[in-house]
Amino acid sequence: MKRVFLLIGVVVIINCCAFRVFAADGWASVSDTNGTPYNVTGGAAGATVTPTTVAQFYTYATSSTPYVIQVSGTIDVSAYSNHRINVKSNKTIIGIGTAPTIYGGLNISGTSNIIISRLNINFDANEGSDDPDTDGITIQSGAHHIWINHCSIYNSPDGLLDIGSGSDYVTVSWCKFYYETGIYNTSHHFANLIGSSDSDTGDRGKLHITFHHNWWSDLCVGRMPRVRFGQVHIYNNYYSCADNDYCIHPGVEAQLFVENNYFFYVDEPIDEKETGALVEGTIYTNTMSHCTNVHQDIGYDTVFTPPYYYCLVYAPYVKNIVINGAGADGIEPAQPAAPTGLTATTNATSVSLDWDDNTDSNLSGYNVYRSTTPGSRYVKKNSTTVTSSNYTDSTVVYGTTYYYIVTAITYNSYTNESTYSDEISAIPLTYGDFVINQAVDTNDLGYFIDLWLISDCNDTEGVDIDDDCLVNFIEFAAMAENWTEQ
């Protein structure tokens, strides 16, 4: 039987996004580019331990046994080779208490299922410039399914957090990257190198990485990130590294999806592209405040579609949310409740949306977003805050499928935005034009007859005008009213 409910009906996609659930998201949450789920558990299958010496930390971190390793105070690993410790698979390393710190670096090489969270990771300001391997965190040699969350990484002589040599499925979220004044090796204040060389062609098809809600702050010069080959999703990050050289660099064959970031007083938010690089994300989807050398012609490519659910914050809100939330001690803001009950009705020239009132005490209103791609690439439709729980979109094209979500906005000390409502789809057209040829005629009768007098809510959804789960003379009269004269 032919199905026609999409013509005036809706499709609901469950909203899986939430900031405050302690679970990996982004590329780390999937096992392939089709979006098959992967659960990053770290060391949850093992014991929780709190080492009091660096030797104990080394034993736990390099063991083949799963562990949740709690870091209290400072663990100085600088006595080990390249000032770092190699972390084996199935580990969670998480800071507790006041200023938990790894002094030195962590090397994640050829391992998987690792969570690093709530840590300060740093080097002494005058150490290590002649050691090219002294990153704060290195992810390399095919390491995969790694989640770096709520870390403050600074002063590392080589890179702050570098990813390369076939590594894959990594998410970096709510981290702060910076350098302090007076640090040795000032010419190498580079934050995040993704893919170490143009000749590392083994990175093709690898380096699926998500950066979200991170803060590139004082004295970062470049590589925020610099990407070769990878498919890297960069959204809702904040850049305030004045006097930098560039922020994001699209290197050889990189695909970058740059969404709803906030660039503040920086130079070259998105650098010029190298051979084969693609960038999606323009000045219209990112906020570029007081920036110099903004390349107007970059950002109009079509790149990969993220195979995971995620919730964007409107770019102008990102600054304060990330400043308060990023870093080892950052607090992610409590969000308003997402709107519920979103529905749509259509005609030939518009889509009318309606949803339940939000009851948050600090409610400012709502934002309405639309896309032609399910689950992503939403563009905000309202130029001013929507203050009622309904909205009519009159900027539609007949017969096009649109996808809508709505968010709630609150204002306390700064603007905050909810996660998404459920997504709905709608097609503006005339009732009865089931073949979408801008005419209601004999071509549509076969579709309609297939549903005649069938009492089934699922089968008749979208064709059933009076919501009685039945297609009968009520619907026939509506179709006849729109009948095209021959």
- Residues annotated as catalytic are 223
Residue 319, SS3? helix
Closest CA to 285 of 250, 316, 310, 325: 316
Assign 3-state DSSP to the chain and report helix, strand, coil percentages, each to 5: 10, 35, 55
Q: Give every CB contact of residue 275 below 8 A, 6+ residues apart in sequence.
A: 252, 253
The span from the CA of 420 to the CA of 91, in Å, is 32
Closest CA to 378 of 319, 313, 334: 313
Q: Are 388 and 370 in contact (CB under 8 A)?
A: no
Concatenate the DSSP letters of all residues of 436-457 into one string: -SS--SHHHHHHHHHTBT-B-H
The span from the CA of 90 to the CA of 142, in Å, is 15
Give me the phi and psi of 386, to 5 degrees please.
-80, 120
Residue 402 C-beta-side C-alpha neighbours within 13 Å: 30
Residue 202, SS3? helix
Axis-axis angle for helices 442-450, 473-481 (nearest 10): 160
